[in-house]
Structure 1
Amino acid sequence: MKHQLFIVAFYWPPAGGPGVQRWLKFVKYLPKDQFDITVIIPENPDYASTDNSLMDEIPKEVRIIKVPLNEPSRWIKKLFKGKTNKLQRGFIDKKPSLLERALLWIRGNYFIPDARVSWVKNVVDKLENDIAFLPDRQAGAKANSIITTGPPHSVHLIGQRLKQNAKFQNLQWIADFRDPWTTIGYHKSLRLTQKSAKKHQELERQVLNQADQLIVTSPSTKTEFDSKTSQPVTVITNGFDVEPNTVDQPSGKFTISHVGTLLADRNPLELWKLLSELCEEHADFKQDFELILAGNVSQEILDAIHNAGLGDHLKLEGYVDHDRAVALMKQSQLLLLIEIDAPETKAIIPGKTFEYISSRRPIIAIGPKGSDIKGIIESVQAGSYYTYEAIGLKQEILAAYKRYKNKELKGNTADVSRLHRKHLTQQLVKLLER
């Protein structure tokens, strides 16, 4: 008999961005002869970005259940006529307006753990009446496992409530954390009261201790959760799902590209400064250099680039679909990977890291000291890691440019197969078989 697996995922095609990729790819590679898979998704989500090309990747054998959701963002946008669009896309200004501060306070203190919490009851009601959850008099409920994936971390409350139902005591609940919960960097921006902060911590404690197994995407998150629970914590990173690129240098200008959202808190001022210096000191570099930003970019980033005198070298691609994003990676000479310079972000390994690796273009990563990103890219010789001081980075970029001029700026030849989604899915299968 096949394993009956249920996956609750808020982000699912046509949602765009990295949040949708993880479980779309797991579902793609889970062996269909071993698993009957049902994915529960919102019926009417208000996604910040969409990518319809991902719809073609959903396996036909997978059953999809859509459950209605009342999105607060919709009535907020109607009420304030688009003035909150930046917040929905994840842009939190360093000096937010009075309206933005008020909305952040409401978000942090009235919607705990997040603004999708109203979806929890709808999903629980739907599943409790699903044929796979209705108990058989002899065998009990047919569903074997349920996986909840967050953020939004309210999704984990669905697994918690089902496990609290005596009828589902034999149901295996796995909570997948794509990001940490209470220690994630943006919590500081939510203007939480002491009472609200304690409620977040209590909900996190309950989920960590009541789930049968926990999955995290980075070693640092595992270390954090191991200190908070005795439940087993397994690291399954994100990965890539495209054939690794050739190692050959692509044609075209000396492009340094960042693919993905670039928020105000990811503003490497030293990088912009040293690129400006290279343009001033080397006429050929100035002629060949192009800075490409693909994705949503905050105004603070754009202002810093223009203030550094790099405006003439900047090419803005805007939001691009997944296929275009991968093509840009492969066509770039160097790839930028930038994380927020804060201790809370050392556990964050952006999903694009792995597609960067599969593109085989040299990576320049910038982030906090002790970041897990460093270990990942260095383990496959995919690039170099710097803190925001960027000591030595100017010399590395100049050396890369000289190799580019000699047509010798090749990618790495390391074996990266362990980071393919197919290999990572086998780790998930082993967990489900326990």
Structure 2
Amino acid sequence: MRRVLFLAYDFPPIASPAAQRARHFVRYLPVHGWQPVVVTPRAGASWAYDPAGLADLPAELELCRTPTAEPGRALRRLRSDTGTARADGDGDPSPLGRRLREWLLVPDSQAGWIPFAATRALKQARTVEVVLTTSPGSAHLAGALASRATRTPWVADFQDPWSTPAFQQWQGRWRPWIDKRLERAVVCRADRLVATTEWLAEHLASVGARQPPAVVANGYEPAEQPQASGSDEHFTLLHAGSFYGPRSPEPLLAAVAAALEAEPAMRACVRVRLLGLQDARNTARLAGSIRRLGLEQVVEQAGQVPRREALTAMRAAAVLTLVADPLEGGRGLIPLKLYEYLAAGRPLLALTPPDGEAGRLAQAAGGTVVHPSNVAAAASAVRRLYRGWQAGESGGHAPAELVERYRWDKLTAKLAHILDDTAARRRP
């Protein structure tokens, strides 16, 4: 069996979407003749952990956990001690946070892992056929060093853009300049590029990819889907996923409040359930919005729950909701939760630009798509979905062929084909 060196900062027990992508690639690559050798930090900085993600990893997996330095943790402690900024992670617009991020966290908050990852990768790269790296940028830089030193072919998997202005909102003057050059160095050096959406693939191609990037989307795992569950007594609009930085549930809450104002009788039945964590800014802002909109008895903030519980809650919800990232680049990405929503088979309300990547997929799945700024249209959609729920309409079933397309085993088969092709062109 051929070996692939896989550098992934996010990996179980971390419970992030990036960790789910890495986890399922590792599970299914051996089926296609590739044995992963995973390099990941021992204790990366993450909001959420779920040990259940370790349970189904292959027994023969070679897992190399390295030390890591986390400047972001020290920065958060400093911000907390000085009282000059929020202790909410990377998206900090304060002068102190902006300056320290600009100078210390290059290319991202995981920069302290680069020397440890590169050192371990250099030891392993001569024993593998291909180096595979996945976002963030720090993993790509560590993989680039190992690939170049050992002349091992390299596949770079991009889950997010690197240098687009929308993803640099708190950076200083010189960071866009250096980020563009780092991104270009990775894009031009990698033997193959993989992107999660068509928009991201087009962006990477415009940066200077050697050949057109391949698209390997995120997906869902059929074996994880719980048995069909009856809905509860309430009309529950569920959002599964964290809110941080500019991402906020406010468009959803505004739509629900407007719907309740138009039809007060709905209030006894309507509930909004939010699964996932929030940063400090969103926590404070959300509390104020709930009070202002009079939704104290409507909104439930459940916080982080185990993955299996979240999947079960999706099956029981009356409506699954998606709230778009308001940044310009957000329209080019598709949250992993949307694929799991499709598998859950429940009605979908997506507050996202209809012409964006997530909007197009939601429409193809038969969901209701409304721009997040159009509160009146979103409120009308909530009322229509409520009436359907009252009438006992199930709805929400995306075309089977569309859902099948995003199974992790099928997606990993595409990645394995890319690895096959890359290994066949090994550098002399």
Partner of 1:432: 419
Greater Cα offset, 235-244 or 276-285? 276-285
Describe the SS at the equivalent of 1:65.
strand
Contact 2:229 2:315 in 1 (8 A): no
> Which amino acid is 1:68 matched to?
P
| Corresponding residue to 1:408 among 382, 386, 393 | 393
Residue 206 of structure 1: CA displacement?
0.4
| Aligned mates of 2:154, 2:352 — CA distance in 1 | 34
Residue 91 of structure 1: CA displacement?
5.6
Partner of 1:136: none
- In structure 2, the CA distance between the partners of 1:333 and 1:109, relative to structure 1 (3 Å rule), is same
Matches within 5 A, 1:191-202: 192-194=172-174, 196-202=175-181
Partner of 1:300: 285
Equivalent pairs: percent with the same residue? 22
Contact 1:258 1:335 in 2 (8 A): yes
CA deviation digits over 1:116-155, x for unaligned, max 9?
223222222223234xx4xxxxxxx43101111112x111
Partner of 2:96: 102
* More helix by percentage: 2
> Which amino acid is 2:242 matched to?
T
Contact 2:353 2:359 in 1 (8 A): no
Contact 1:184 1:345 in 2 (8 A): no
Residue 391 of structure 1: CA displacement?
5.0
Contact 2:188 2:210 in 1 (8 A): yes
Matches within 5 A, 1:200-215: 200-215=179-194
Matches within 5 A, 1:192-341: 192-194=172-174, 196-232=175-211, 233-242=213-222, 250-263=231-244, 265-267=246-248, 269=250, 271-297=252-278, 298=282, 299-341=284-326
| Corresponding residue to 1:377 among 342, 346, 362 | 362
| Aligned mates of 1:45, 1:246 — CA distance in 2 | 33
Contact 1:369 1:387 in 2 (8 A): no
| Aligned mates of 1:55, 1:249 — CA distance in 2 | 29
Residue 413 of structure 1: CA displacement?
4.8
Residue 35 of structure 1: CA displacement?
1.7
CA deviation digits over 1:310-354, x for unaligned, max 9?
111111101112111111111111111111223221112111111
| Aligned mates of 1:388, 1:249 — CA distance in 2 | 32
| Corresponding residue to 1:142 among 127, 148, 153 | 127
| Aligned mates of 1:230, 1:91 — CA distance in 2 | 29
Contact 2:193 2:209 in 1 (8 A): no
Q: CA RMSD in A?
A: 2.3
Describe the SS at the equivalent of 2:163.
coil
The gaps in structure 2 that reach 5 residues or longer are 422-428
Residues 1:173 and 2:173 are matched in the alignment:
no
| Aligned mates of 2:220, 2:270 — CA distance in 1 | 28
Describe the SS at the equivalent of 1:143.
coil
TM-score by length of 1: 0.88
Describe the SS at the equivalent of 2:145.
helix
Residue 198 of structure 1: CA displacement?
1.1
Partner of 2:404: 417
Contact 2:220 2:407 in 1 (8 A): yes
Describe the SS at the equivalent of 2:287.
helix
Residue 46 of structure 1: CA displacement?
2.9
Describe the SS at the equivalent of 1:317.
strand
Residue 308 of structure 1: CA displacement?
1.0
- In structure 2, the CA distance between the partners of 1:345 and 1:414, relative to structure 1 (3 Å rule), is same
Greater Cα offset, 105-114 or 212-221? 105-114
Size of the alignment, in residue pairs? 411
Residue 176 of structure 1: CA displacement?
0.6
Residue 81 of structure 1: CA displacement?
5.2
Greater Cα offset, 296-305 or 384-393? 384-393
Partner of 2:52: 53
